[in-house]
């Protein structure tokens, strides 16, 4: 057996890794991944895999994350299917040479940008949306005509095992490989040369990936996380705001890279907002959240302990219950955590929502902008001037105004961070471009060869050139 995935650990024999990569290189060199027919066929096969294996996938997600089917379908399977459909619909247009104008100095001539595949792409996935976070980048990599090697997260072993088993059955085995494993396997992978690496996960490993990529001057896309702020103006629709905050924060038990990490709100408005959030939690997950089938669990004991420890010494105004045996943590609200507490210094990545009050909502802008640039920023307001102030004076990978991460559903918008929350982006055409080299082409005519630029240089030539360029 090439891979041996168990519920505790997925592994790959390290000696098999380099030959797999070499095989992918040979496939790319053979050229057939460049054909649009091959790309579309592979994309359709990804959709077929997800549609035909829907039941085992939902079961694997249930086992890995205790997630209900509807949440898994909308957040992962549905996302993969719609990304394939969007890509297949537009791929021919994206692959075409992109004509641009040519300056007078280069006339007669034609200029265009020709997207070309990069080669072999390494996709390192995270565990929180373990299907989407490998198949999403795979769709982009294949659409651009690349070969790909997928390394799913070992912390979601059921999905990792399922992908390792099913991908070779559905996709071109010569062009797409799966390597299961953890640190050893990823470290071994990173010893090898790829033409692009996309990594989804935390900042510490992001740096390891980038350092390894630097050895080969391999470009990287880093899909990282960070503390995504949620600014709530008192001039908002309270009920809708509370619904959308609860939906985006507590989906997948808060283990979402674009979940609102903490809320900034005016002191006088905070009690109303907290009450509205409590009402929505009970409405969505019933008064006894632990019994709700719609609420997920924490991925493993280490993350469970990490999140529970964040609550030490905090002013918990709602929730706070947990059960180690089932890795359940109740949706929890903490009021006024100290800025230097671990809760406010680390990305929470769990169902704990700190509320920080301000005398004036405008103070949210310096609060956010003095911190690391987050993956996403949320703003709930009816005040257009404040909306513009926040947009212009803060930086974030993505911004949701008056909603949570609905932007992730729009394939026309780039999905990615900035600064500490990452670099590069994918989804739709942006993903296609991310995994392509946008090759510059200028074609000149042999006719009309103006000798102006050729030596010997004269002051007259220089004068004319200055005007032309």
Residue 230 is a catalytic residue: no
- Minimum distance of ligand NAD from residue 110's CB (angstroms): 38
Count of residues interacting with ligand NAD (CB under 6 A): 28
Q: How far apart are CA 354 and CA 129, in angstroms?
A: 23
Cα atoms in the Cβ-side hemisphere of radius 13 Å centred on 315: 7
Window contacting ligand NAD (CB under 6 A); options: 14-22, 44-52, 57-65, 150-158: 150-158
- Binding to ligand NAD by CB under 6 A, coded x per residue (else -) over 74-113, reads ----------------------------------------
Contact indicator for 199, 221 with CB cutoff of 8 Å = yes
Asked if 201 interacts with ligand NAD (CB under 6 A), we say: yes
Report which residue's Cβ sits closest to ligand NAD.
225
Please pick, from the candidates 26, 82, 187, 440, the single residue that binds ligand NAD as defined by CB under 6 A: 187
Query: How far, in whole angstroms, is CA 325 from its chain's centroid?
Result: 30
Name residue 99's beta-bridge partners: 112
Query: Of 114-122, 126-134, 335-343, 380-388, which segment contacts ligand NAD by CB under 6 A?
Result: 126-134
Place of tokens 């059921």: 158
Distance in angstroms (rounded) separating the CA atoms of residues 355 and 387:
20
Spell out the SS3 assignment of 262-316: EEEEECCCHHHHHHHHHHHHHHHHCCCHHHCCCCCCCCCHHHHHHHHHHCCCCCE
**In the complex with ligand NAD, which residue's Cβ is closer, 87 or 160?**
160
The reply on whether position 304 binds ligand NAD by CB under 6 A is no
Least CB distance from residue 95 to ligand NAD, whole Å? 25
Least distance from ligand NAD to the Cβ atom of residue 307, Å: 12
Q: Does 271 bind ligand NAD (CB under 6 A)?
A: no
CA distance 94 to 91: 5
Question: What token pair was written down for 28?
Answer: 């790319």
Nearest residue to 66 via CA among 306, 310, 302, 292: 292
Sheet of 220-223, strands arranged across: 176-178, 147-151, 120-124, 196-200, 220-223, 422-423
The interface mask with ligand NAD, positions 216-245, x = CB under 6 A, is -------xxx--------------------
Of 76 and 195, nearer to ligand NAD (C-beta) is: 76
Please give the DSSP secondary-structure letter assigned to residue 360.
Answer: S
Nearer CB in complex with ligand NAD: 347/433: 347
CB 387 within 8 A of CB 368: no
User: Closer to ligand NAD at the Cβ: 145 or 206?
Assistant: 206
Residue 105 CB, shortest distance to ligand NAD, in Å, is 43
- In the shown chain, the binding pattern of residues 387 to 426 toward ligand NAD, with x for contact by CB under 6 A and - for none, equals ------------------------------x----x----
Q: Choose, by CB under 6 A, the member of 41, 81, 208, 238 that binds ligand NAD.
A: 208
Rule CB under 6 A: say whether 202 interacts with ligand NAD: yes
CA dihedral 278, 280, 282, 283 (to 10 degrees): 160
Q: With CB under 6 A as the contact rule, which of the stretches 125-133, 161-169, 334-342, 362-370 interacts with ligand NAD?
A: 125-133
Does 257 participate in catalysis according to the annotation? yes
Tokens describing residue 383: 């005040």
What is the spatial distance between Cα 221 and Cα 206, in angstroms, rounded to a whole number? 9
Name residue 178's beta-bridge partners: 150
Closest CA to 229 of 467, 424, 413, 421: 421
Catalytic residue (one of 185, 188, 223, 347): 223
Look at residue 91 and give its three-state secondary structure: helix
Q: Is 186 in the site for ligand NAD (CB under 6 A)?
A: yes
Tokens linked to 166? 């099913």
Please give the residues from 127 up to 146 whose contact with ligand NAD meets the rule CB under 6 A.
Answer: 127-128, 133
**Given 10, 147, 230, 257, the catalytic residue:** 257
Per-residue tokens: 298: 């924490």
Selected binder of ligand NAD within 67, 86, 151, 227 (CB under 6 A): 151
Among 118, 149, 155, 398, binds ligand NAD (CB under 6 A): 155
For ligand NAD, the binding residues (CB under 6 A) are 124-128, 133, 151, 153-155, 182-183, 186-187, 200-202, 205, 208, 223-225, 257, 347, 349, 375, 417, 422
């Amino acid at each position: 057996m090439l891979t041996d995935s168990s519920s505790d650990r997925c592994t790959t024999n390290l000696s098999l890794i380099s030959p797999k990569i070499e095989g992918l290189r040979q496939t790319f060199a053979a050229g057939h991944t460049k054909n649009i027919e091959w790309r579309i066929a592979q994309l359709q096969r990804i959709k077929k895999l997800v549609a035909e294996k829907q039941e085992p996938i939902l079961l694997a997600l249930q086992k890995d994350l205790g997630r209900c089917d509807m949440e898994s379908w909308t957040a992962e399977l549905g996302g993969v299917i719609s990304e394939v459909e969007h890509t297949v619909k537009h791929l021919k247009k994206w692959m075409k040479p992109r004509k641009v104008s040519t300056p007078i100095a280069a006339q007669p001539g034609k200029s265009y940008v020709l997207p070309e595949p990069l080669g072999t792409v390494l996709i390192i996935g995270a565990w929180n949306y373990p299907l989407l976070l490998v198949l999403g980048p795979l769709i982009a990599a294949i659409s651009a005509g690349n070969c790909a090697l997928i390394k799913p997260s070992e912390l979601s072993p059921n999905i990792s095992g399922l992908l390792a088993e099913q991908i070779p059955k559905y996709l071109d085995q010569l062009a797409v490989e799966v390597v299961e494993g953890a640190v050893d396997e990823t470290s071994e992978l990173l010893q090898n040369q790829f033409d692009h690496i996309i990594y989804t996960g935390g900042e510490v490993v992001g740096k390891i990936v980038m350092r390894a990529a630097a050895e080969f001057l391999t470009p990287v896309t880093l899909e990282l996380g960070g503390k995504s702020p949620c600014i709530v103006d008192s001039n908002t629709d309270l009920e809708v705001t509370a619904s959308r905050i609860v939906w985006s924060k507590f989906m997948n038990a808060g283990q979402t890279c674009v979940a609102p990490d903490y809320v900034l709100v005016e002191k006088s408005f905070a009690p109303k907002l907290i009450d509205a959030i409590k009402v929505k939690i009970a409405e969505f997950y019933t008064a006894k959240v632990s019994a709700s089938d719609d609420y997920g669990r924490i991925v493993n004991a280490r993350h469970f302990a990490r999140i529970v420890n964040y609550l030490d010494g905090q002013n918990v105004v709602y929730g706070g219950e947990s059960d180690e045996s089932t890795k359940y943590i109740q949706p929890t609200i903490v009021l006024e955590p100290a800025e230097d507490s671990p809760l406010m210094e680390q990305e929470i990545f769990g169902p704990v929502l700190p509320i920080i009050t301000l005398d004036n909502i405008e103070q949210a802008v310096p609060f956010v902008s003095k911190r690391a640039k987050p993956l996403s920023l949320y703003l709930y307001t009816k005040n257009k001037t404040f909306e513009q102030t926040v947009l212009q004076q803060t930086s974030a990978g993505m911004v949701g105004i008056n909603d949570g991460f609905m932007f992730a559903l729009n394939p026309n918008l780039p999905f990615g961070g900035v600064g500490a929350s990452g670099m590069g982006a994918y989804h739709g055409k942006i993903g296609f471009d991310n995994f392509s080299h946008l090759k510059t082409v200028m074609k000149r005519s042999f006719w009309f060869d103006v000798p102006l630029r050729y030596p010997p240089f004269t002051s007259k030539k220089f004068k004319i050139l200055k005007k032309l360029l």
